[in-house]
Structure 1
């Protein structure tokens, strides 16, 4: 496992280009949102401005009625007076309608026709909005004839004028609204940006820098994020990230130690194979010794050395302690359990009872070498647990049973009367270096058992025992060629 270098520049990695920063996008989004709201306000606003302008234009006709009141006895305005009146009101025609009569006050000589007619008494709100945008978007000069109530509402005023002054006033008003909207949007965007940058973006940037620094050297505990103590969602994220970084750092350090351990084991394993080969040659010669005890234990010793030599060769071949695919053969399970018990070399002084409860007729389809190692690990753990028990009245028993519920399923039960497993061992059962069942153990034995059972397509679990001690249950689907009776 190679160690990551710490040559990265976290500030450059965590500070993207200005256009790609969250803060820039947030500011732009805020401005766009405020401008969109201002557009919604602008539509009725410009329509109201047009109506107010037209209404004020129409009210100027009331001024002209005063001049009409001076024209007593049918006295009409002179052409010069009409011209001055039209110029003062910026109009082309002025007329007043009274109940029962219509009075023309002034008219420009060059007025021939009008382009648009506007009757404020009949115009709806939608018509007003459409007419406002029609005026804004029109580029040709037009003449407008405007009709509406004036005074106390008993008279109707009529005025004809050029549309250009109205359009200029609406453009100026639109520009003012646009500038005001931009100012409001910018100010609001800055406020929102400042608040979110302080309470959101800055902590996120800190998290990003911490991730980049930790990624450069994840085994350095000093690079683990220190939570700020916030109580909101970001505070939870900081605490969870710090915890995850701690677990990851511990895991990486453990993996490094395992890699170093694997290299050391491979070197030791190479020399151990040569030693086992020499021991195998010597054990072969022991078979010629006529002593009865030697003749009894020599076959067991030879088989154990053969298995050890085969396993060390497998470790060297694969470069790691991994299980190869099982080579399944029909195996007498009862005899396999007997071999396991014989290799434990339990002495009478230990007073440990080994019970082989497997039916001698059961033939299981499995890899005998791998399952020999699996059962040996379980039995060895049980023997070590019972050796720590003192007292002549204590029952020391290790039993292995086989059950065949049907459909080719084989269930093996390995139980003992030892002290059982503690909470720490239960929480990390079958995990190497964490699931040890005794003080000073490595937990490799149970991890190997779990790997072998899994390679056979089975499962192993810690079963519930009615008596003190540990009870392991192994289930192997399809291990029985035909249903067999229980032991």
Structure 2
């Protein structure tokens, strides 16, 4: 009788946990599962599940198909901070086996488990004794990760524990898929609106360009008139006016350059967006390009934004930087997005640096490359967000954000056959490093 009561009590706890997780998922889904809400939900889901099965620690791994790894995305336990963000090969360990086969497993004694991948435990000094591991799937049944509970506080994990974690894994997979579909719907809505928006931008841009040209003509005329009357002015009035003109000339020329360059880039972008909405995406146009000039234009265009934020923009380059075979307009867009994203994340008095380097010798990516680094002294990127940057799973963490900025950068790098990586330390800053081949493969000597 006591055993029956214990079994009923355990079932009640399991049902209560499932109800709690389901209710949380429903409430969050109604509000919209953006990245912060999804992270909070999945961390809470993992904690509730571990409490019910009386486990000491646990991990929710998410697959990174591009790197063929499992990322320790959500971790509960005493070593959580050290473990979060780590990666293991998706074919290693019990987690990798469950991910590949889709078969849940109870491991009663880790020391007797041949598939156990001890490297992670050894790295942080945590000893796993027993575990239960279940697959995480999307709505189509495809594997997207693994849920693993470690070290049951009393006895070994049971089939009841496995059943509960299987249900929890299903709910977690549903949450992840819900967030992904909401993101896709958001992007689809944006795509439908872009046709009208690009038409409006073109219409609004025309008077801006016309006014800029009129201002240039008016100012040149005014300057000529002053030069004509200048000899008839007496000192010190003439010198005072000349000094005033000299100070204003530099600002005027810089402002005109920003207006013209920004308008030209905007017109090209509008045309590309309009073509994309129609389904006619033009291929990259590779030409020998001075990337120094591209970087200078980007920093000039964003200078007013940075000044308003109290952030310094720097260009760190070398006089012998090699010419690269790139699409200058798309590279401009990628670099603009990186710098523009870094500025608001950098506190007052900080800096954003574009560092350019090149290596002619060797074979790409170790040689024959152009390297572009965007380095900021900002707030840094949390590990859980860092893992998804420049992947298909990237979701904006900014209110109203779409994640399109990082997607644009990723697309540009891929179109050039390049590589991209990110290093970040919270509260210290972030470095985004891009390497592009100096020459297209078909142009290299056999």
After TM superposition, the score normalised by the length of structure 1 is 0.45
After TM superposition, the score normalised by the length of structure 2 is 0.49
